[in-house]
Amino acid sequence: MSGRQIMTAEEIRRATIRISHEIVEKHAGTEGLALVGIQRRGVPLAGRIAAAIAEHEGVLLPVGALDITFYRDDLSLIAQQPLVKGTDLPFDLNGATIVLVDDVLYTGRTIRAAMDALIDFGRPRAIRLAVLVDRGHRELPIRADHVGKNVPTSREELVRVHLAETDGGDGVEIERPTPALAAAG
């Protein structure tokens, strides 16, 4: 893989902890707060943020997992149906403040689908968004409340997030699909 590393494991750890503080600060406490990770890598990230909040606030927030496969608007663009990873929301969403957690914010379409999915389960008081990497190029009016790192990218580049829970190790890389062309240009 010809990726250039843009976040190390230590940077991911610090970003996660900073986000955990920001979430509590913005909400002015932990009352009625819940975290929902978007499958796949948002789920372990949500777990890490919850663990960090438990450490400094002494409160274990409810954590859920959300699969957005059935809510995507791009199914007509992809050749095969992605495998469903499962939705598990073990708490009442009604009246809760939900922090959606995902690894990369890009077009915003995943988040649009996630909000649709969440609202099918109840009426949260508010939905906020925390992401590890914001790479720009939004196609919808969506903005993250908490960002681990802003990374300017071109549309041709790929941002790869690796987490120990899903990929065996932590790190974020940026990749150019055609390095030869980029060098020539």
Partner 1 sequence: MSLTIEPAGTSAAEASLPAPRWRHRHLLDLDGLDWSEIEVLLRTAEDMRGVLARPIARVPALRGRTVTILFYEASTRTRVSFEVAAKNLSADVVNITASASSVSKGESLVDTVRTIESLGANMLVMRHATSGAPYLAAETFSGSVVNGGDGWHAHPSQGLLDLFTMRRHLGDLRGRKVAIVGDILHSRVARSNIWALTAAGAELWLCGPATLLRGFEAWAGSWRGTAGGPDGRKGFVVTSDLRAALRDADVVMTLRIQRERQAGGLLPSLREYAARFGITRERLRGARPDALVMHPGPMNEGVEIAPDVAVGSGSVISEQVRNGVAVRMAILHLLSGTLAGSTAPVEGTARG
Q: Which residues bind partner 1 (CB under 8 A)?
A: 39-41, 43, 65, 67, 69-71, 74-88, 103-104, 106-107, 109-110, 116-117, 120-121, 135, 153, 157-161, 165-166, 168
The CB-of-99 to partner 1 minimum distance in angstroms stands at: 18
The CB-of-83 to partner 1 minimum distance in angstroms stands at: 5
The CB-of-146 to partner 1 minimum distance in angstroms stands at: 18
Q: Which residue lies nearer to partner 1 by CB, 30 or 107?
A: 107
Q: Which residue lies nearer to partner 1 by CB, 33 or 132?
A: 132
Tell me the CA distances in angstroms from 128 to 27, 57, 82, 96, one per residue in order. Answer: 10, 19, 26, 11
Q: Which residue lies nearer to partner 1 by CB, 11 or 157?
A: 157
Between CA 168 and CA 41 the distance in angstroms is: 12
Q: Which residue lies nearer to partner 1 by CB, 24 or 93?
A: 93
The CB-of-181 to partner 1 minimum distance in angstroms stands at: 17
Q: Is the dihedral of CA 138, 119, 18, 175 positive or negative?
A: negative
The CB-of-56 to partner 1 minimum distance in angstroms stands at: 25
Contacts with 170 (C-beta within 8 Å, 6 or more apart), sequence order: 8, 9, 12, 13, 162, 163, 164
Sheet holding 171-175, edge to edge: 4-7, 171-175, 158-162
Q: Is the dihedral of CA 84, 143, 56, 58 positive or negative?
A: negative
Q: Which residue lies nearer to partner 1 by CB, 86 or 179?
A: 86
